[in-house]
């Protein structure tokens, strides 16, 4: 078995394979399942790019995003007092996406949109985040339409 976590890229890619640790406690809040939507949008797709095939974890094998309220929930969660530590998770996701774009030949358009979304989530306003997410959703819809035809 070969693995190399000593190199920067190996470590940073591996660090993005686990989903977010935080989970919302209060199910009455509209963003209580934000962690699941972040996992669906980012982690599950990164796992696919990396070739993870472990059957019990979520892997998103197409660009299609089924949970389309992530940005709205993220914006609401960031305004709440009990906002969890999302930035640590996002930092690792962003680094892995950048490495994937730099080191692989495939999925560049989608990776660019995902990188833009992750960047925006660090410092953008609500509208910018919403826009970046909608662009990623549109990309998935276009992919689906092309593959249905």
CA 122 – CA 9 distance, rounded (Å): 22
Burial of 25 (C-beta count, 10 Å sphere; 0-12/13-18/19+): exposed
Q: Which is nearer to other proteins, 59 or 68 (CB)?
A: 59
Shortest distance in whole angstroms from residue 60 CB to other proteins: 15
Q: Where are the alpha helices (DSSP H) in the chain?
A: 8-14, 34-38, 44-50, 70-79, 86-103, 108-123, 126-148
Per-residue mark of binding to other proteins, 84-113 (x: CB under 8 A): xxx-xx--x---------------------
* 82, 125, 135, 138: residue in contact with other proteins (rule CB under 8 A): 82
Residues in contact with other proteins by CB under 8 A are: 1-8, 10-25, 47, 50-54, 57, 82, 84-86, 88-89, 92
């Amino acid at each position: 078995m070969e693995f190399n976590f000593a190199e920067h890229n190996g470590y940073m890619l591996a660090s993005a394979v686990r989903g977010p640790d935080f989970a919302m406690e209060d199910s009455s809040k509209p963003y209580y399942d934000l962690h699941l939507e972040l996992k669906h949008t980012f982690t599950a797709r990164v796992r696919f790019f990396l070739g993870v095939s472990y059957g019990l974890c979520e892997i998103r094998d197409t660009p299609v995003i089924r949970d389309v309220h992530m940005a709205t929930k993220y914006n609401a969660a960031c305004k709440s007092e009990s906002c969890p530590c999302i930035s640590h998770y996002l930092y690792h996701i962003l680094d892995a996406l950048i490495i994937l774009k730099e080191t692989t030949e495939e999925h560049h358009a989608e990776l660019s949109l995902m990188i833009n979304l992750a960047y925006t989530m660090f410092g953008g306003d609500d509208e910018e985040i919403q826009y970046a997410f909608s662009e990623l959703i549109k990309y998935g819809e276009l992919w689906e339409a092309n593959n249905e035809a």
